[in-house]
Every structure is written in structure tokens, then in C-alpha cells.
Amino acid sequence: MISVGFTYDLRDDYIAQGFSEEESAEFDSQETIDSIAQALRDNGFALEKIGNIKALVGALAEGRRWEIVFNICEGVKGIGREAQVPALLEAYDIPYTFSSSDVMVLAMNKALAKYVVREHGIPTPAFSTAHKVEDLENINLAFPLFVKPLAEGTSKGVSEKSRVSSKKELLNACSSIWGTHDQTALIESFLPGREFTVGLIGAGKYARVVGLLEIVLKDGAEKWCYSYRNKVACFEEFIKPVGPEVENICRLALDSWVALGCRDAGRIDVRLDVYGVANFIEVNPLAGLRPDYSEFPILASKSGINYTELIGLIMEEGLRRYGLDQQNKQRQSILMA
């Protein structure tokens, strides 16, 4: 039986430390932690819960080791926050699931991710960045524009005010990001078309689309976007599965996933432009895994993959990359002999 360490950021721990609901939005609920742990056990792994990066540091200092770590730590500070646990595990030569530390940094910096996919010939909205008021003088994009933090997840910093139609609105939107999130503003040409999120499993030639969902804003939702309020407060109302006519969306998502070097599992967000052409918006290489709530498990279930199977597929990808799948099969054969 393969030993699996499990690293995670429990949301309740950060709420207890004084984090706000929005500040702790990316951290995982106790339900998510328990569900993943049970799914790992149901897939036949010997599990040890570790906790966050500080708990991991302590465990490593004590000499504890695992054959592979199932890592969903989001981290707390900086563009490299999702890369911290992967980098630490790389330093100790311990295998782990999901994308490598360099890809985690690339994905968190939304502008850099867009540069990469654009260099691969993948459509993405024209964009610029602004660190301060003076930078806005060099923005040569036509209105309307869309403004969001450079390095946030869970739609933090995104609202209906993110769509701007004048220099004044642009300044207000950027000032809000500089003040509230203390980071660079990403400014993109606004795409008026439909929005989708695509789930993927695997890496490189093994990468494949699991399924996709269309983001549908119903009555009462904030306009223009999949905002923090729409995503968290009114989540389930605004998502529905889509039909087979979106093959081009799946192809763009798959090409983007491979171009960025992502692995094991995650999501690509896609939006259509005024001509109906699919565009890369951003990547989430560490997608939420809360059952019946997070997009990834929902779209997987729509494709006939239950939660235990989904966690098993993610582990299979990680084991295969490190050559542990063959070791596991050999070990099981010996035990059954």
C-alpha cells in the first residue's frame, strides 16, 4: 500500500487567526479535507494528514517521509504562494500531485500565463498591466476593458465594476485593486461572449478534457462576469453543462494546458469574443475539490466520474509521472500471490 501525505490549508484555521471570509476564500473546508481523505483511503492508499506548509516543515524536520504527497495548499502570501509546498517537496525529493513549482508561479501571474499561451498562437484578450496611476497613461486598449488583480483566485477582486468604459472607471477599478489587494492590476479587452470553464486531467500527451461547464448569469447576479459574489454567494445557480458544439473550446483549453506545462488536474477558463472565437482567460492548476460545490468535481460528475474515481484519476497521473504506478502494481501482485 503506497503511503500518501496530505497537505492542505484548512479554512477554519485561518478564520480563527482573523482572516476575513474573502481573504480565506481559497482555503478548503473541513468537508473538502475529509472527502479527499476518504477518497484516497477508498482508492487503497495509506494516508497521513499533514496540514499546511508549517506543519509540513515540522514533519520533515522530524524525519517523516511519504512515497507521494497529495498537495492542495494554496499558501498565504505572494505570487509564489501556491509554489511553496511543491518547491519544498522538490528540495526533499518527495513526489507530489499537481503542477510543479515553476508552473504554479507562472499560472498565478495571469499576465505571464497570457504571454505564454499567446506565444503558442492561442487566442487571449489583448492586455496590459498597471502598478501605479502613471502606468494608466500608457494603456492603448479600446474600451470597454476588464480589470482584475494580477494574482488572485476564487474571483477575488472581481465584480460588475471590473468592466470599465471610461478612464475614470479604469482609474477607480485599478485603485481598488492597488488598495484592497496590494498588487498589480491586469487590464484586458472585454470579451462580450459566453464563458466556460474546462476541466482537464493529465499532462503533455496524456492530457485530456474531463468536461466543461458554461457560466450562466441569471436574474439577481452581478453583471458581466463570474464575480466573487456570483461564484461564492450564488454559485450553484449560475452553472450548467453545455452540449457537444464546444469542441473548439475544449481544443483551446487542452492546447493552453499543455503549453503552460500543467499536470494531473485543473481548469482552464475560456470566453468567446464578439465573433464567437474562444479565448484563453486564465488557468487554475489547483482547482477546488469540494464535492457538489467546486466546478471541477461538478463537471467530472456530469461526465460520469464520481468523486472517489476523480481523486483516483489524479493520483494515477501523479504515480505514473514518478514511475510509482508500476511499483504499486508489482506490490499488489506480490500481496495477492
Residues 107-151: tens digit of each pLDDT:
999 999 999 999 999 999 999 999 999 999 989 999 999 999 998
Same domain for 205 and 275: yes
Are 108 and 81 a contacting pair, CB within 8 Å?
A: yes
Determine the Cα–Cα distance for residues 216 and 195; give it in Å rounded to an integer.
8
Same domain for 244 and 269: yes
Whether a cis peptide bond, with omega within 30° of 0, leads into 144 is yes
Does residue 285 lie in a domain region?
A: yes
Does residue 229 have a pLDDT over 80? Answer: no
Determine the Cα–Cα distance for residues 217 and 132; give it in Å rounded to an integer.
32
CATH of the domain at 295: 3.30.470.20
Same domain for 70 and 84: yes
pLDDT at position 42 is: 97
Same domain for 199 and 155: no
Does residue 233 have a pLDDT over 60? Answer: no
Q: What is the pLDDT of residues 68-118, one digit of tens each?
A: 999 999 998 888 999 999 999 999 999 999 999 999 999 999 999 999 999
Same domain for 301 and 220: yes
Mean pLDDT of 264-274: 96
Q: Determine how β-strand 265-272 pairs with β-strand 278-284.
A: antiparallel
Same domain for 221 and 275: yes
The residue segments making up the domain with residue 201 are 195-305
pLDDT at position 230 is: 52
Same domain for 298 and 203: yes
Does residue 334 have a pLDDT over 80? Answer: no
Query: For the chain, what is the domain count?
Result: 3
Same domain for 279 and 213: yes
Q: How confident is the model at residue 248 (pLDDT cuts 50, 70, 90)?
A: very high
Same domain for 214 and 134: no
Are 121 and 129 a contacting pair, CB within 8 Å?
A: no
Average pLDDT, the chain: 89
Does residue 207 have a pLDDT over 70? Answer: yes
Are 103 and 285 a contacting pair, CB within 8 Å?
A: yes
Mean pLDDT of 191-202: 94
Does residue 148 lie in a domain region?
A: yes
Q: What is the pLDDT of residues 13-61, one digit of tens each?
A: 888 888 877 677 778 899 999 999 999 999 999 999 999 999 999 999 9
CATH of the domain at 13: 3.40.50
Exposed/middle/buried for residue 38 (C-beta within 10 Å: 0-12, 13-18, 19+): middle
Among residues 251, 261, 256, which one has the least CA distance to residue 203?
261
Mean pLDDT of 197-209: 96
The length of the chain in residues reads 337
Regarding predicted confidence, which is higher, 176 or 331?
Answer: 176
Does residue 106 lie in a domain region?
A: no
Are 253 and 200 a contacting pair, CB within 8 Å?
A: yes
Q: Which three cell numbers stand for residue 213?
A: 461547464
Same domain for 242 and 154: no
